[in-house]
Structure 1
Amino acid sequence: MRDSQDAEDYLAGYAVLLDEVSRTGRRLTRDEIVVRRQEGERAAVAGRRLRDMVVGHLAATRAAWPDLSGIKGAVGQRDLSAAALAVLGATEQAVDAFTEGYDHAQRLAVRREEAARREFVDDLLYGRSDLGSLSERAQRFGLRLARSHTVAVAVGDEPYDETHPVTRRVESALIGRFGHRRILITTKDGRLVCIAPSDGEDGGGAGPARYFAKQAHAATGGRVVLGRSHPGPGGVVLSYEEALSGHNIISRMGLDSPVVDAADLLVFPVLARDRGALADLVRSVLGPLDSARGGAEPLLRTLEAYFDAGCVSAEAARRLGLSVRALTYRLERIARFTGADPGEPLDRYTLQTAVIGARLLEWPAKEL
């Protein structure tokens, strides 16, 4: 009953219009179409269902139909048929204008919602709004910023936005698993971003963020880094920055793990904090490799493979596509140039730290 009343609120003058059209056979004027379009916009803004509005138009047309014979037999069957066709044509015009206005208002509402969401995401990830306002706006998007959150960032082979099929697929997977439990899936600078609670509630732990990482890697084929859990709005910013920094470190270090925790990368920022000291270590320990035939890069890759293989020569040789004998020869050359033997514990620690530093500083591609 209420749906019918709702429709009537947006059909003022419609029955009179049909009656006139039935008598004259004319089409709707420009002004009449504008009125129908405006009514459609008004219905959309008021939150009325389009289905109810269309059904209301058809019901009004049917109710007015008997009046078409109000010609009282004064006209022939042919004239009556023409009147009926005119009314059907007017109904088509009216419904088309109404739905056009409705769709236009809906598109505007969606664009405003997207703009508000984008502004909120930017303010949240960069901490550019006062905490009170940010927390209030966060509730609209399902976040409770007083809790601890984990931010996971996925980078693929192409940039992603809110409408990308990959974004929708990952978001659907998260909703299917956890429901709408305070999880926000968004994009930033072409990356997929997940902000999920990590305080043991609403899915708990790193569960949602880690599940996002699994789904995002499967969908993008790229890498995902999970920031550490931190409380409050500032915690979201910090976790996001850790995830971004993790991607930068992984790229420099040439790591190939598909999902990485920022907590596992803490040693790298520590090493890079004193850039001067790190550069001095690289120059002192690995600098002599520059004088080797072929330069430092091949021997540097040899050390990386050796350390990544747990200092097991056979595995390192396999990764490099060398024989064990060729690998052993390279390690001996490294020892001669640097004065540090990879087989000795203390020398091995020094060499490995220097190798990490070289990748962080992008040496030897860049001068120290």
Structure 2
Amino acid sequence: MRPFRIDIPQASLDDLTARLRNTRWTPQLPGDGWSRGVPVSELRELASYWQTGYNWRAAETRLNEFPQYLTEIDGLDIHFLHVRSAQPDALPLLLTHGWPNSFVEFTELIEPLTRRGFDVVVPSVPGFGFSAAPRETGWSAARVGQVWAELMRRLGYERYGVQGGDFGAYVAPEVAKADPSHVVGVYITGGLGFPTEADLPELNEEEQTAFAELMNADWMHGVDHHALLRTAPQTFAYGWNDSPVAALAWLTQKFHEFNASGEPLEQAIDRDLFLTNLSVYWFTGTFGSSALPYYDAVGPLWPEGQKLVPTGVYSDAPGIRRLAARTNTITHWPETNPAGHHFIAMSNPADYAEDLQAFFTGLA
């Protein structure tokens, strides 16, 4: 375990500023609003703020308030945050971010969790941020889950909970499969219980409504990032790695599509927090390597979970509890949690921390 601090060279900040200043802007295409992608006017305003208003050094100082470490597991340096609660009987909780996020997803959630009696461990998925990028394919959710189990063993934890959203929703159950005698429960932000084509004839009226909600969601009709990141990430990584505006447009597009809060993105998620997440990708050059979880995926299959330990879910619809229970032992499935589940840890950390506590209370 080697202590780690973020220290981006000033030359990298100056380079980012110069690239933003020298952007060769594309004209606005015909079409209303977001119908052809991120509107030029909105992106220009956001890029201008990134260049002249956003303060990376302040964000860097904030991130360095969290104890950070590197440790080599399975041939890779794994970056992680490890923040202990003041409570002596704290339950360790392992948080796994998804795409297009990073460990930054949880920076506003950590304090509410430690205050509620959790030790918090936040690793960066291999190829994301400050974790090393794998040099070969095959880094599936199962392999990451095995690495996370080893990390918790090295930290000396005998009993712990795991959480995951997006790609983390695939990883968290795999940690339980790799280490069932030590994991007390698995908490998924959302994604369990999505019906397949074979399930459709059996859906009741309420479930059909939930399925229609799924099929009408913006993120079901946006850019197919699964296919793009599975088949041609190298092609697009040239632009993301060379042009900060290309990278900004890509993440703005996906955050817009994934935003399920019912509010405009700029109201749902703090602009500086969004840009800090983006800046971590930019300064570490990990836009391409963050596609690794998709390399070996076959289509946009939903997470299935596991039955070795109890499962809790933050968001219900468009998932269907009856279907999720086929492959999970569901003990927590609220129907009234605030919306915005994909980025709920960023947009509403207090409610998310409360629901995590509600699930894990009694499991330890």
Q: Return the TM-score normalized by structure 2.
A: 0.21
User: Normalized per residue, which structure has more helix?
Assistant: 1
RCO higher in 1 or 2 (8 Å CA, sep ≥ 6)?
2
Greater Rg over alpha carbons, structure: 1
User: Normalized per residue, which structure has more strand?
Assistant: 2
Q: Return the TM-score normalized by structure 1.
A: 0.20
